[in-house]
């Protein structure tokens, strides 16, 4: 065989191998279902983070329990 024929045969064999080794239809359906669950999880996480950020900040009801900072006596 000449060099160009050998390269063509190897290229064709690799192409056939790659095409025939793709996922089956059932595997693709399961793969898409898992991807949708993953995307929905991310979307829910983002929504909850945005909702939490939009809520007004809660101030503590009893501020008297906070200890004042001590001051040093003047010398």
pTM value is 0.44
Residue 17, φ and ψ in degrees, nearest 5? -60, -45
Going from N- to C-terminal start, the domains of the chain cover: 24-53
Predicted pLDDT of residue 37:
96
Q: Quick check: helix, strand or coil at residue 45?
A: helix
Taking only the tens place, the pLDDT of each residue in 7-50 is 899 999 988 887 777 667 778 888 899 999 999 999 999 999 99
Per the model's pLDDT, the better-predicted residue between 57 and 4 turns out to be 4
Residue 55 burial class via C-beta count within 10 angstroms: exposed 0-12, middle 13-18, buried 19 and up:
exposed
Predicted pLDDT of residue 54:
86
Is residue 26 a contact partner of residue 18, using CB atoms and an 8 Å limit?
no
Predicted pLDDT of residue 29:
86
Predicted pLDDT of residue 22:
66
């Amino acid at each position: 065989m000449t060099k160009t024929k050998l390269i063509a045969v190897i290229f064709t064999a690799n192409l056939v191998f790659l095409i025939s080794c793709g996922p089956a239809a059932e595997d693709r359906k399961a793969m898409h279902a898992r991807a949708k669950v993953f995307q929905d999880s991310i979307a829910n996480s983002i929504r909850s983070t945005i909702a939490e950020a939009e809520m007004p900040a809660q101030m503590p009801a009893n501020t008297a329990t906070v200890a004042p900072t001590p001051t040093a006596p003047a010398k």
